[in-house]
């Protein structure tokens, strides 16, 4: 039994933070799913790397450009196509898990990180365009967008809340999610159809703290702060 399947048996889901045409068309994602992968996430930077790397997007870009689409519209069409395909590959995992796993996430525009109303509008639009139960919409955990987490949850949208760096930030996200579930119940909705992920950042915290530890002459403490922070959030 491989490690991902062993982890799944222990209740831990391994997600892959990557997507590209090569990953999809070459069968690598299907192989990872068969090996125990339980979810996949993406962001604009990941798509930028894949598209700029020329991994099977050239013909589609030419066709979309010929239709007169803007660069932003071309990006969205490419991203939605990839996310939809990945979600279809993950659908059997989602079904087997009773809707508790097998998700693929796509992020709203980073330009909306301080705009709750804009985040809600775009998240609802992306959900409608993709039309798949196992798609999560990734939204930022900025103070301005915490109301969006609540509103989207209340609307039955499964959200992957990202940019969480502290215990306090995690608590605020959890509170917004719970409030959204209560709103959903109050409207007669079924909370069993809504899932959520709190994307607690780890490596970026170490990257920042380790530089300070070098300056302080304490290299033996490097690569520890982020895990300690994550543990504290988990216990909270």
* C-alpha to C-alpha distance for 192 and 98, rounded to whole angstroms: 10
Asked if residues 148 and 116 have their Cβ atoms less than 8 Å apart, the reply is yes
* C-alpha to C-alpha distance for 16 and 21, rounded to whole angstroms: 15
Among residues 62, 138, 222, 231, which one is catalytic? 138
Asked if residues 115 and 143 have their Cβ atoms less than 8 Å apart, the reply is no
188 alpha carbon, distance to own chain's centre:
27
Q: Structure tokens of 64?
A: 């979309």
1 alpha carbon, distance to own chain's centre:
27
Closest CA to 83 of 49, 26, 131, 143: 131
Asked if residues 153 and 176 have their Cβ atoms less than 8 Å apart, the reply is yes
139 alpha carbon, distance to own chain's centre:
8
Distances (CA, A) of 97 to 9, 32, 39, 101: 12, 17, 12, 6
Q: Structure tokens of 13?
A: 């889901």
Dmax (CA) for the chain in angstroms is 58
Is 138 designated active site? yes
DSSP class of 27: S
Catalytic residues, by residue number, are 138
């Amino acid at each position: 039994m491989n490690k991902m399947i062993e982890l799944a048996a222990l209740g831990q889901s391994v997600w892959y933070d990557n997507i590209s045409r090569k990953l999809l068309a070459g069968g690598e994602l299907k192989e990872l799913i068969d090996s125990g992968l339980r979810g996949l996430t993406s962001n604009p930077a990941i798509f930028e790397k894949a598209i700029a790397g020329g991994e099977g997007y050239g013909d589609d870009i030419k066709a979309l450009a010929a239709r007169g689409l803007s660069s932003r519209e071309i990006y969205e069409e490419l991203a939605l196509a990839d996310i939809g395909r990945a979600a279809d590959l993950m659908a059997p995992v989602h079904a087997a898990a009773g809707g508790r796993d097998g998700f693929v996430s796509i992020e709203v525009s980073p330009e909306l990180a301080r705009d709750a109303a804009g985040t809600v509008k775009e998240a609802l639009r992306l959900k409608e365009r993709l039309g798949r139960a196992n798609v999560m919409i990734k939204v930022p955990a900025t103070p301005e967008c915490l109301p969006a987490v609540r509103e989207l949850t209340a609307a039955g949208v499964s959200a992957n809340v990202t940019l969480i760096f502290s215990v306090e930030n995690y608590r605020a996200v959890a509170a917004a999610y719970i409030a959204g579930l209560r709103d959903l119940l109050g409207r007669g909705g079924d909370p069993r159809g809504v899932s959520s992920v709190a994307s607690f950042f780890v490596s970026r915290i170490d990257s920042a703290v380790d530089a300070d530890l070098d300056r302080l002459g304490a290299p033996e403490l490097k690569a520890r702060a982020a895990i300690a922070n994550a543990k504290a959030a988990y216990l909270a």
